[in-house]
Amino acid sequence: MRILLTKNTDLDVVAKELGTDIMVGCIEVIKTHPLSVPAFDLKNHSLIFTSASGVNAFFINGFKPNKDFTAKNYNRIYCVGEKTKKALRKHGFGTFKVLKNAEALSRFITSCCQYEKFLHFCGNLALDVLDDNLPLQNIRYKKVVIYHTEELNPLITEKYHAAVFFSPSGVRSFAKHNSLEGMMLFSIGETTSRELRKLTPEPVLTAQGNTLASVLELIKNHI
């Protein structure tokens, strides 16, 4: 069995989890670049991050949230996914709420946070889920594009029995020059799975935890 991971990953960690009977390859299908965005005052805004790349670009540009919970105008931080949460923690910031995908975050905000003002720090290819839904509910929301995602569109010449995907843009990049037919398809989350289903009738297996560990557990359970 040969499996392709569509991102650079520590293969020693993967091999330890999956065993030596499974051959694993990695290929980078997207690349992100921080953009230069002059830092501005975040006063009276809640902050949204939907990727670790957004977090990193935010701090590279010198933004500084107010994390003093005793202050009247501290910045609540909402994020999608454990990887994004960990990126925030590396910079010394906790999160007010962590959801598994943008759809869940949108539902939470519309039901519980109608009176907050939101700034969403994201990439140029970020899904429009929040942008489409929140203004319709009269929630004050602004998208701040702070990094650029480049789809690399690699051509894979080796034969793999399965492929693992970690983002919708990664799916599009891979599918540009490669077929998805005849492979087992694994996905880190439902948003990525939906992108796969747009491109192929093949079954898609979706991890529940939005982490590499949950993806590897899914693979072990189905191979």
Would you state the structure tokens that stand for residue 153, as one six-digit string?
Answer: 């569109």
The answer to whether residues 118 and 161 belong to one domain is: no
* 145/216 Cα distance (integer angstroms): 31
What is the pTM for the complete model shown? 0.90
The answer to whether residues 99 and 139 belong to one domain is: yes
For CA atoms 208, 212, 217, 222, give the dihedral sign: positive
Would you state the structure tokens that stand for residue 219, as one six-digit string?
Answer: 């693979």
Give the tens place of pLDDT for each residue, 123-175: 999 888 999 999 989 999 999 999 999 999 999 999 999 999 999 999 999 99
* Total domains, the chain: 2
The answer to whether residues 196 and 213 belong to one domain is: yes
The answer to whether residues 168 and 213 belong to one domain is: yes
Q: Domain span at residue 173?
A: 2-29+152-222
Would you place residue 67 in the very low, low, confident or very high pLDDT band (cuts 50, 70, 90)? confident
Which residue among 150, 175, 190 closes a domain? 150
